[in-house]
Amino acid sequence: MPENLRTLRRKREIVGEIQQITRAMKLVSAAKLKRSLSWREATQAYFEEIDRALGLVAGQVEGEIVHPLVTRRPVRRIGLLLCGGDKGLCGAFNASILAKARQFVRGSDVRVQTYTVGTRTAEMARRARLNVVREFPAISERQRGSDVQDIVRYMMHVFESGTVDRVEVCYARFLSRITNEPVIDRVLPAPLPEARVADRAVIFEPDVHELVQQLVPQHVTARIFQALLSSAASEHSARLMAMTAATENAEEMISDLTRDINRARQAEITSELLDVVSGGDALQRQG
């Protein structure tokens, strides 16, 4: 067999093997996306009801809600929570949130310190020379939320201790299975839901002040949770799309290579035939 045909066959084999991997990753991403969407859905009601309850309390408080987590102060330093993933192979997902973060840092007139979620994001942020002061692993459902709680606690700590005067979260907001949008949202001081007055008199126990103490941290936690869950859904959908495209590309390469292989084999047969025919001719002429 000529070298050419053998190389082509080997190439097709390799592309086939790669396709098996991309197809498997595609299936895994589809399953993970489904899970993270159902997680997001299951928690949606919690976020909405916390906002409703806090809005109700806000409507009851005279003046503004007072709580360390909503107190505005002159901004000398900003903390930026950059939500990404542990892995690549998800198209422009990591690059686009990093671009958003860099744009934010460049446009800020005060110092920005960055906290990353996901090892891949941490690597990219360090390479982009963002001031990374804390790295968190990507969130996982298996942790029952304790990993998210660690992040939330740390964000509250840097704000309350005065290390930073504002905390923003940069993440890819999940819009649909095929689109996401890198955004930056303020988390602290916490933006409050609109004050509402109930249609019927509501009993507040033990009192409005105690409820503020309870609900404001729950509200902040909910906002950070939402950003992280949205980011996770975006990441899985981005990887699902990237792996779908890769699987299709591999399919195309395999069919191209198959055509080349057939052509090469045909050429080989033709040349062998030519050898036989011209050999026969020569023998006849001799005889």
Partner 1 sequence: MPESFHVRILTPMREVADIDAVYLNATATDGKLGVMARHAPLLTRLDIGTMVITEPGGVRRHFATVGGVLRVTERGVFVLVEAAEEADEIDIERARNALERARQRLRERRSDPSIDVSRAELALARAINRLRVAGASTPRA
Under the rule (CB under 8 A), what is the footprint of partner 1? 39, 42-43, 45-47, 49-50, 52-53, 56-57, 144-145, 148, 198, 200-206, 210-211, 214-215, 218, 221-222, 225
Beta strands in 48-104 (DSSP E): 77-83
- Provide, rounded to whole angstroms, the least separation between the CB of residue 173 and partner 1: 18
Residue 164 and residue 113 in contact, taking contact as beta carbons nearer than 8 Å: yes
- Compare residues 76 and 157 and give the one whose CB is closer to partner 1: 157
Q: Provide CB contacts within 8 A for 71, sequence distance 6+.
A: 189
Integer-rounded Cα Rg, in Å, for the chain is 29
- Provide, rounded to whole angstroms, the least separation between the CB of residue 183 and partner 1: 20
Here the tokens at position 283 are 């023998």
- Compare residues 47 and 93 and give the one whose CB is closer to partner 1: 47
| Helix axes of 146-160 and 208-286: crossing angle, nearest 10 degrees | 120
- Compare residues 138 and 215 and give the one whose CB is closer to partner 1: 215
- Provide, rounded to whole angstroms, the least separation between the CB of residue 233 and partner 1: 15
- Provide, rounded to whole angstroms, the least separation between the CB of residue 122 and partner 1: 24
- Compare residues 66 and 202 and give the one whose CB is closer to partner 1: 202
Residue 36 and residue 232 in contact, taking contact as beta carbons nearer than 8 Å: yes
- Provide, rounded to whole angstroms, the least separation between the CB of residue 194 and partner 1: 17
Residue 246 and residue 169 in contact, taking contact as beta carbons nearer than 8 Å: no
**Cα-Cα-Cα-Cα dihedral sign, residues 208, 221, 225, 183:** positive
- Compare residues 107 and 206 and give the one whose CB is closer to partner 1: 206
Distance CA 40, CA 37 (A): 5
